Structure 1
Amino acid sequence: MVGKKIGGRTYYYLAESGRVDGKPRVVTQRYLGTAEEIARAVPGGEPASTSYRPYGDVAAVWSTLSRLDFVNRVDDVVRAKPSLGLTLAVAVLHRATAPATPLPEWWTAGPAADLVRPRLSTVDGIWKALERLTPERIAGIEDTVASAVLEALDDHAALAVDVPQFAAFAPADCTLPSACQGVLAGVGLRVTRDGAIPLKSRLYRRDDGTAPTFASLMAGLGPATLVFHSGQAAQLDLGSRSGFVGSLPLTDHPELLTQPASARKRVDPERFAGLTALDTHAVVDGVRRRVVLTHSATLHAAQSRAFADELATATRELDGLAEALAAGTHRGDRAQVHAELGRVTRGRRIERVLTAVLSGNRPGEIRLERRIDAAALARLDEEFFGKQVLVTDRDWPIGDVVTAYRARTHLESTFRWLTGPAVTGPTPRWEWTRQRIEAHGLVSVLAATITHLMRREADRAGMNLSVRELLDQLAGIGELVLRYPSTGGRPRAKRLLTELDPEQQALADLFQLSR
Structure 2
Amino acid sequence: MATIQAKVSRGHKYWYIVESRRVNGKPRPIVLAYLGKAEDLLRRLQGLTAGLKLKSYSHGAMAALLSAAQRLDIPAEINRHVHSPRTYMAEKPIRNNLTVGMTLLLGAIGRICMQTSKRGWWAWAKTTSCEYLLRCSLSRIDSQHFWDLMDALPIDAIPRIESVLVKRVLSQYAIQTDTLFFDTTNFFTYVATTNTRCTIAQRGKNKQHRYDLRQVGLALVVSREDFIPLFHLTYQGNFNDITVFKSVVESIKTRMEELHLDLQRHCLVFDRGNNSKKNLAMVTTTGLHYVGALSPSHHAALVDEALEHMNERVESARQEFLVFRDKRVIWDEERTVVAFVSDKLRAGQIRGLHQELAKAEKNLTDLQERLKNPCSYHFKAAVEAEERVLIALHTVNARQVFTFSVCQNTLGGWDLTYAKNLGKIDELQEEMGLRILMTDRHDWNTAAIIEAYHGQSFIENAFRNLKNPAHLALRPQYHWTDQKIAVHFFICVLGYLLATVVRREAIKKASFVGSMDALLDTLNNIRLATIIEESITPGPAKATHKLEVLDAEQ
The two structures have a TM-score, normalised by structure 2, of 0.64
Corresponding residue of 2:478 = 424
Q: Match for residue 15 of structure 2?
A: none
Out of 294, 307, 314, which is 1:265 matched to? 314
**2 CA distance for matches of 1:297 and 1:464?**
26
SS at match of 2:403: strand
Q: Which moved more, 1:212-221 or 1:340-349?
A: 212-221
The one-letter amino acid of 2:436's match is V
Amino acid across the alignment from 2:332: G
Contact 1:57–1:471 (CA under 8 A) maintained in structure 2: no
Spell out, residue by residue over 1:131-152, the C-alpha distance to the aligned partner (whole angstroms, 9 max, x if none): 3323564344212211122121
Structure 1 position 391 matched with structure 2 position 443: no
Counterpart CA distance in 2 for 1:454 and 1:305 is 40
Rate the CA distance shift 1:106–1:264 in 2: closer, same or farther, 3 A.
Answer: farther
Query: Offset of 1:401 from its aligned partner?
Result: 2.3
Matched, 1:132 2:152: yes
1:234 corresponds in structure 2 to: 276
How far apart in 1 are the matches of 2:399 and 2:498? 45
| 1:271-328 residue CA offsets vs partner (Å, 9 max, x unmatched) | xx68775544333113331123354444334433333332222111111122334566
Compared CA separation, residues 483 and 68, structure 1 to 2 (3 A): closer
Alignment partner, residue 150 of structure 1: 170
The Cα of 1:449 is off from its aligned counterpart by 2.2
Q: 1:248 deviation in Å?
A: 1.6
Displacement of 1:50: 7.8
Identify the match of residue 69 of structure 2 among 65, 76, 81: 65
Distance across 1 between alignment mates of 2:108 and 2:245: 28
Q: Does 1:253 align with 2:277?
A: no
| Per-residue deviation, 1:93 | 0.9
The answer as to whether partners of 2:340 and 2:436 remain within 8 angstroms in 1 is: yes
Mapped pair 1:379 → 2:427: yes
Could you report, residue by residue, the CA deviation over 1:64-113 in whole angstroms, capped at 9, with x for unpaired residues?
A: 43554544555677796654443222111112233444442553454252
Which letter maps to 2:174? L
Task: Measure, in 2, the Cα distance between the counterparts of 1:169 and 1:366.
Answer: 45
Structure 2 distance, partners of 1:100, 1:128, is 18
Q: Kindly indicate whether residue 337 of structure 2 is the aligned counterpart of residue 283 of structure 1.
A: no
Cα distance, 1:51–1:288 mapped onto 2, change above 3 Å: same
Say if 2:140 is the partner of 1:89.
Answer: no
Kept in 2: contact 1:74–1:144 (CA 8 A): no
Q: Is the 8 Å Cα contact of residues 62 and 130 (structure 2) preserved in structure 1?
A: no
Find the counterpart in structure 2 of residue 347 from structure 1: 395
CA distance in 2, matches of 1:295, 1:456: 34
Q: Which residue number in structure 1 is paired with residue 236 of structure 2?
A: 205
Of 199, 204, 218 in structure 1, the residue corresponding to residue 249 of structure 2 is 218
Gap change, CA 1:156 and 1:446, over 3 Å in 2: same
Q: Which residue of 1 aligns with 2:548?
A: 496
> How do 1:405-424 and structure 2 match up within 5 A?
405-406=456-457, 408-417=459-468, 421-424=475-478
Give the secondary structure class of the aligned counterpart of 2:317. Answer: coil
1:141 aligns with 2:178: no
Q: Tell me which moved more, 50-59 or 82-91.
A: 50-59
Q: What SS does the aligned partner of 1:356 have?
A: strand
- Give 1:161's match in structure 2, choosing from 168, 178, 182: 182
Mapping for residues 300-449 of structure 1, pairs under 5 Å: 300-326=346-372, 330-333=376-379, 334-358=382-406, 364=412, 366-384=414-432, 386-394=433-441, 395-396=443-444, 397-403=448-454, 405-406=456-457, 408-417=459-468, 421-425=475-479, 431-434=480-483, 436-449=484-497
Change (3 A) 1:148 1:178: farther
Name the counterpart of 2:22.
Answer: none
State the superposition RMSD in angstroms.
4.3
d(CA) in 2 for partners of 1:301, 1:52 = 50
1:207-259: CA deviation from partner (whole Å, max 9, x where unpaired): 699x9763233213314655543333126353674233322211123333625
For 1:362 and 1:459, how far apart are their aligned partners in 2? 76
* Structure 1 pair 497–76 and aligned structure 2 pair: CA distance change class (3 A): farther
In structure 1, runs of 5+ residues without a counterpart are 1-42, 172-176, 426-430, 509-515
1:123-166: CA deviation from partner (whole Å, max 9, x where unpaired): 3333322333235643442122111221213423464735362x
CA contact (8 A) 1:70 1:145 kept: yes
Any conservation in 1 of the 2:246–2:279 contact (CA below 8 Å)? no
Provide the C-alpha distance between the structure 1 equivalents of 2:133 and 2:352, rounded to a whole number of angstroms. 46
8 Å contact 2:65–2:109 — kept in the other structure?
yes
User: Kindly tell me: are residues 355 and 408 of structure 1, through their superposed partners in 2, closer, same or farther at Cα, counting changes over 3 Å?
Assistant: farther
Aligned length in residues: 439
CA contact 2:223–2:229 (8 Å) conserved in 1: yes
Q: Distance in 2 between matches of 1:478 and 1:439?
A: 30
What letter matches 1:303 in structure 2?
A: Q
Partner of residue 345, structure 2? 299
Change (3 A) 1:149 1:326: same
For the residue of structure 1 that corresponds to 2:548, the secondary structure is strand
1:466-500 per-position Cα deviation (integer Å, ceiling 9, x unaligned): xxxx2256326635676767443246676536868
Distance 1:90 1:305, change over 3 A: farther
* Unmatched tracts of structure 2, length 5 or more: 1-45, 84-91, 202-215, 257-262, 536-540
Q: Is the 8 A contact 1:478 1:497 kept in 2?
A: no
Q: Is the contact made by 1:317 and 1:344 (CA closer than 8 Å) also made in structure 2?
A: yes
**TM-aligned CA distance change 1:352 to 1:421, over 3 Å:** farther
8 Å CA contact 1:324–1:330 kept in 2: the answer is: yes
Task: Measure the CA separation in 2 of the matches of 1:194 and 1:402.
Answer: 14
- Matched with 1:111 is 128
Cα gap change, 1:88 to 1:325, in 2 (>3 Å): closer
CA contact (8 A) 2:110 2:116 kept: no
Cα distance in 2, alignment partners of residues 315 and 412 from structure 1:
35
SS of 1:238 mapped into structure 2: helix
Aligned in 2, Cα 1:472/1:235: closer, same or farther, shift over 3 Å?
A: farther
The question of whether the paired residues in 2 share the 8 Å contact of 1:218 and 1:226 is answered with no
